[in-house]
Amino acid sequence: MGKIEGLVLKIALGVFAATNFVVCIITTNLRVLIPLNILVAIIFIAVFRLIASNISGLSRDLGISRQEAGKLVGDYFAYYKNVERISIDEYLKRTSQVE
Higher pLDDT pick, 48 / 4:
48
Grouping H, G, I as helix, E, B as strand and the rest as coil, residue 27 is coil
| Average pLDDT in the chain | 83
| pLDDT tens readout for residues 14-60 | 998 999 899 989 988 889 999 999 999 999 999 889 988 988 998 89
- Indicate whether 3 pLDDT > 70: yes
* Number of domains composing the chain: 1
How far apart (Å, rounded) are the C-alpha atoms in residues 72 and 66? 10
Put residue 63 in one of left, alpha, beta given phi > 0 → left and psi -120 to 50 → alpha: left
pTM of the model: 0.66
Give how far the C-alpha of residue 86 lies from the chain's centroid of Cα atoms, to the nearest Å.
24
Is the pLDDT confidence value at 89 over 80?
no
Domain that residue 10 falls in = 3-98
Q: Quick one: which H or E segment has residue 9?
A: helix 3-26
